[in-house]
């Protein structure tokens, strides 16, 4: 029995030793894994701690830049750029003044031309009146006279020239009296003609480009 027990112990002792070795290895591996994990965690903490100052530095630099912009505003312009802007503004102002002067001069010239033309037309109208008075006194027998026919041609040429520059007679007889175009020198009671109607014209009136050069002298029915 004692011998059998010894044999059994001899057989079990190598097995236990193997188990102990395996347990020791597992414990060592576990300890190694835990140590590596701790080292990795420590490394990550170190990296995060190092990154935080950099972020703070970036934030502080941005704050400083914003403060500088707040204090100083826009960057100071170059002296050359300022001179260019001033010269450009001056040239633009002079060009605008010249354009206004040109337009004003053209308008004044047009007004002077209108006044001058109107003055010339006013001086020609008495000649037209004399032609018409002369033709009114010509008898039917005298109309065939070469002199009378020649005068008629001159009169027609004169009237065509006046018409070409915008002169035209004002309509009067049979029209309603208009103080803008007519000058009433006589009034007559005429029920057939109607109230405020022109029944006779003593002197023709004329327009120059829709402007009255001379009012018509007329007789108006009341």
Residue 141 is predicted with a pLDDT of 86
Domain boundary among 120, 143, 165: 165
Q: Evaluate if residue 75 carries a pLDDT over 50.
A: yes
Residue 15 is predicted with a pLDDT of 46
What is the band of 42 on the pLDDT scale with cuts at 50, 70, 90? low
d(CA 205, CA 55): 96
- If one counts the domains in the chain, the total is 2
Whether residue 158 sits in one domain with residue 93: yes
User: For a pLDDT cut of 90, what percent of the chain falls above it?
Assistant: 35
d(CA 143, CA 193): 32
Select from 129, 128, 218 the least CA-distant residue to 174: 218
d(CA 213, CA 173): 19
d(CA 40, CA 101): 86
Q: Looking at residue 194, which CATH number applies to its domain? A: 2.30.22.10
Q: Evaluate if residue 70 carries a pLDDT over 70.
A: no
The pLDDT of 172-186, averaged and rounded, is 92
Q: 111: domain range?
A: 89-165
Does 59 fall in a domain?
Answer: no
Whether residue 182 sits in one domain with residue 130: no
Does 104 fall in a domain?
Answer: yes
Whether residue 155 sits in one domain with residue 96: yes
Does 54 fall in a domain?
Answer: no
The pLDDT of 117-141, averaged and rounded, is 90
d(CA 221, CA 211): 26
**Helix 146-164 and helix 79-136, axial crossing angle in degrees, nearest 10:** 160
Domain boundary among 147, 165, 183: 165
What is the band of 22 on the pLDDT scale with cuts at 50, 70, 90? low
């Amino acid at each position: 029995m004692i011998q059998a027990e010894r044999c059994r112990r001899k057989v079990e002792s190598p097995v236990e030793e193997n188990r102990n070795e395996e347990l020791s290895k597992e414990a060592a591996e576990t300890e190694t894994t835990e140590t590596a994990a701790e080292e990795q965690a420590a490394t990550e903490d170190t990296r995060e701690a190092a990154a935080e100052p950099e972020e703070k530095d970036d934030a502080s630099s941005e704050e400083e830049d914003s403060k500088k912009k707040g204090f100083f505003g826009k960057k100071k312009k170059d002296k050359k750029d300022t001179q260019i802007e001033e010269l450009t503004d001056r040239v633009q102002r002079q060009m605008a003044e010249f354009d206004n002067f040109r337009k004003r001069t053209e308008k004044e010239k047009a007004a002077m031309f209108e006044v001058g033309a109107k003055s010339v037309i006013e001086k020609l109208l008495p000649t037209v009146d004399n032609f018409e008075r002369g033709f009114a006194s010509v008898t039917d027998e005298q109309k065939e006279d070469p002199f009378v026919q020649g005068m008629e041609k001159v009169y027609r040429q004169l009237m065509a020239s006046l018409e070409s520059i915008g002169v035209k007679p004002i309509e009067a007889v049979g029209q309603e009296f208009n103080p803008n175009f007519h000058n009433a020198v006589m009034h007559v009671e005429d029920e057939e003609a109607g109230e405020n109607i022109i029944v006779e014209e003593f002197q023709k009136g004329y327009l120059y480009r829709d402007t009255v050069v001379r009012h018509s002298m007329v007789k108006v029915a009341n």
